[in-house]
Amino acid sequence: MRTLKLSSLILLLSPFFQTVQAQIVYRDLNPDPTLQMPAESLGKMPLYLDDDTSVDATLVYNNYPAFGFWNVAIRPTDTLNPKVEFLYNSNLPKSPVGDYYILPLDLNQNIGSTASYAFYYPQIGDSYNSNFRGMGDKYIGFRIKTGTSYNYGWMKIDFSGDASMTFVLKELAYQNTVNTPIKAGQKFGVGIRHMELEEKVFTFYPNPVKTTLHIRAEKELELNLIRIYAIDGHCVKQFDKPDLAMEFDLSDLTKGAYYIELIQGENTITRELFLKEE
């Protein structure tokens, strides 16, 4: 029997769900990744926008109301070779403290090649232009570089507060087909059928688990992938064409809740499991 060790899993505190709709990869983040920005502080939060394990960009803030200054922006992981660019408002000049202002999008606004995109330090808002702050739920358009092509996507966010501020990332999605536009809030491709695997097909035990998780199938099925997701919604572990007779060694993990997703073609099943101390 094969044993795979999951030593790099990240603690997941509550449910996360992802669907793949042929062209659109959609994520409903639950709980919503949240960055609190207390007065007289600075900080950051990593952003994971696709299915690899790398940080795609970082949300950063400086909040010093006592000095009359604050700004919230997105910084690229690599300024010389940025992976992600963000749709900005071409009708506004650059911020005095950064790059262009990201354009707050409404539901169903188009995100594609005709828009303007910035990567260096695009602003969510600052003391010169509050931009997203106080607008309620809005969308941020982005594009992921794939060679010389792009995958277009969106994030649904809420940015609120005064002296102390809060940024909440609620949902995100991107086109899995390059150079294909997407609408803000669009979750599914047109005319694509989606089915979930029946949960009764698989048995996970024990749950809670101390060190080793077993997965059994009630019928013969070949899975394409098993994925593990973190609280911020990015994939931290992936197994290609896994053997259903395998054991998963979780002995290196601290106690807590995790989520595991099984994928067969366009079909998915997502289950929560708990790790307890020996």
pTM of the model: 0.64
Give the type of residue at 237: K
Residue 251 has pLDDT above 60, yes or no: yes
Q: Can you give the pLDDT at residue 208? A: 82
* CATH number of the domain enclosing 229: 2.60.40.1930
Using CA atoms, how far apart are residues 269 and 118, in angstroms rounded to an integer? 37
Tokens coding 223: 């899975």
Q: Could you tell me if residue 6 is inside a domain?
A: no
Q: Could you tell me if residue 94 is inside a domain?
A: yes
Using CA atoms, how far apart are residues 122 and 114, in angstroms rounded to an integer? 18
- What is the pLDDT confidence band of residue 41, given thresholds at 50, 70 and 90? very high
Least confident range of 40-49, 74-83, 144-153, 221-230: 221-230
Query: Which of 167, 92, 162 minimizes the C-alpha distance to 122?
Result: 92
Residue 231 has pLDDT above 60, yes or no: no
Which tops the pLDDT comparison, 10 or 134?
A: 134
Q: Can you give the pLDDT at residue 201? A: 64
Domain limits at 225? 202-276
What's the mean pLDDT in 192-215?
A: 64
Cα-flanking dihedrals φ and ψ of residue 66, to 5°? -65, -25
Q: Are 84 and 145 in contact (CB under 8 A)?
A: yes
Q: Same structural domain for residues 40 and 166? A: yes
Number of domains in the chain: 2
Average pLDDT, the chain: 80
Q: Same structural domain for residues 225 and 175? A: no
Give the type of residue at 109: Q
Which tops the pLDDT comparison, 202 or 9?
A: 202
Tokens coding 185: 């809030």
Tokens coding 124: 């969510």
Tally of residues, the chain: 278
